Amino acid sequence: MDIEDKRWATRIILPEHRAGLARQASEKRKLEKPQLDAQQIEDMEITVAESMEFGSVLAFKLYDDGFIREVIGAVHYVDHIRKEFRVKDNKGDTNLVKFADIIDVTKASSN
């Protein structure tokens, strides 16, 4: 626990201040977007092409405003104009995955 957190933990504070402290803590946890090299991008393209050919499930790691989120599903369609994948997950929902947000693509484990 930081010194700032200990100082405010024992005092009564307004809800606006509590929200500000929570927002500040969230900002501290944000990550910088990793830069991908040409080889990583090519490997991801090959993984997606194999997935579309054989219908296998992929795990996409996406950069989302300082945080990493994961989308798991099969690539249903590649939209080259909008630069995004349409990924169907196991619930049947379609997720739009922008090319620019992708950090990593791997084959999903079949648990």
Q: Can you give the residue ranges of every domain in the chain?
A: 1-30, 38-107
Statement: 38-107 belongs to CATH 3.40.640.10: no
pLDDT by residue (tens digit) across 55-90?
A: 889 999 999 888 899 999 999 889 999 999 999 988
**What are the start-end ranges of the H helices in 3-37?**
3-9, 15-29
Reported in sequence order, the residue ranges of the chain that DSSP labels E, i.e. its strands, are 58-64, 67-79, 84-88, 94-98, 102-107
Q: pTM of the predicted model, to two decimals?
A: 0.70
